[in-house]
Amino acid sequence: MDYSKLDGLVPAVIQDAESSEVLMVGFMNEQALAHTQRTGYATFFSRTRQKLWMKGESSGNKLEVVEILVDCDEDTLLVKVKRLGDGNVCHTGERSCFYRVLNHDKDTKEPKDTKAQSTNDDSNLGVDQTLNGRTRS
Amino acid sequence: MDYSKLDGLVPAVIQDAESSEVLMVGFMNEQALAHTQRTGYATFFSRTRQKLWMKGESSGNKLEVVEILVDCDEDTLLVKVKRLGDGNVCHTGERSCFYRVLNHDKDTKEPKDTKAQSTNDDSNLGVDQTLNGRTRS
């Protein structure tokens, strides 16, 4: 695995092995992945708490690993799981964390001033320039 | 959307709207998401090239957006798509980037010394301590 792109972490997509629903996305470091493999239950690295957490360790809603796949450039994991406990993965009580459709209007506001955004604009995309009638200067 | 956790980016899981296969994971900043919504084709922010890229802009294998979902804490997107062109999403020619099962032995080696790893160890997980017969000091 290549942990270099996100400061020691890789995204781990959690997918229901039976229904193929995407349930959540967490982050793993090498220890979280090793823990997941050793125990057979999905374990993540909490970015907010800065420590490992086994999903469902308290609630009983653990995620039993069925299969772990790795992507082409080895910087992302796809973990197929069986939902244990009441089967609701999201802390809101929903089965999946992805229970809302994105509001188009709400999320096309002006970008905040962050590194990734300030070093980039639409001028990198020729196609979009044409669509918007703008020209390169 | 909350772009603060990954320096202006959020992971975007790309899922085939028909088969429910997870095809790839990319990253979007606000501009990439706005471009995706405006054009109807998945557009990412390339971390290596530090610019926007519309998937399939050159190859024709664009990803037509069917629906965009957002997770509970608004820091991850799930983009359901229709595969265009030859339908092969991965640059290797595979349909999905997740075409390999993770090799267990290969990926349980000792962690590298990175920020996320060095600030954490298994002692944060009570369950694992018990399993390994270790005690807190």
3-state secondary structure chain B: CCCCCECCEEEEEEEECCCCCEEEEEEECHHHHHHHHHHCECEEEECCCCEEEECCCCCCCCEEEEEEEECCCCCCEEEEEEECCCCCCCCCCCCCCCCEECCCCCCCCCCCCCHHHHCCCHHHCHHHHHHHCCCCC
Hey, how many other C-beta atoms are within 10 angstroms of the C-beta on A135? 8
pLDDT in tens, B95-110: 999 999 998 655 444 4
For domain A10-83, the question of CATH label 3.10.20.810 is answered with yes
Instruction: Report how far residue A99's alpha carbon sits from residue A102's, in angstroms, rounded to the nearest whole number.
Output: 10
B125 touches chain A (CB under 8 A): yes
pLDDT in tens, B14-30: 999 999 999 999 999 99
Return per-residue pLDDT of chain A as tens, 137 residues. 999 999 999 999 999 999 999 999 999 999 999 999 999 999 999 988 999 999 999 999 999 999 999 999 999 999 999 999 999 999 999 999 999 999 865 544 444 444 444 344 443 343 333 333 333 33
Across residues B41-45, what is the average pLDDT? 98
Task: Give the residue among A68, A89, A88 at the shortest CA–CA distance from A79.
Answer: A68
Task: Give the residue among A27, A3, A33 at the shortest CA–CA distance from B108.
Answer: A33
Answer whether B131 sits within 8 Å of A39, measured CB to CB.
yes
Instruction: Report how far residue B65's alpha carbon sits from residue B83's, in angstroms, rounded to the nearest whole number.
Output: 9
Please, what is the Cα angle at B115 between B111 and B119, to 5 degrees?
80
Listed by start position, the domains of chain B span 10-83
* Nearest by CB: B101 against A35, A68, A111: A68
Answer whether A70 sits within 8 Å of B102, measured CB to CB.
yes
Name every chain A residue with its beta carbon within 8 A of the beta carbon of B33. 107-108
pLDDT score of A105: 57
Name every chain A residue with its beta carbon within 8 A of the beta carbon of B15. 22
If contacts are CB pairs under 8 Å, which of residues 44-73 in chain B contact chain A?
A: 45, 47, 50-54, 57, 67-73
A98, amino acid identity: F
A94 touches chain B (CB under 8 A): yes
pLDDT score of A18: 98
pLDDT score of B104: 67
Across residues B83-106, what is the average pLDDT? 90
Across residues B61-74, what is the average pLDDT? 97
A40 touches chain B (CB under 8 A): no
Name every chain B residue with its beta carbon within 8 A of the beta carbon of A100. 69-70
Q: Quick check: A10 and A27 in contact, CB under 8 A?
A: yes
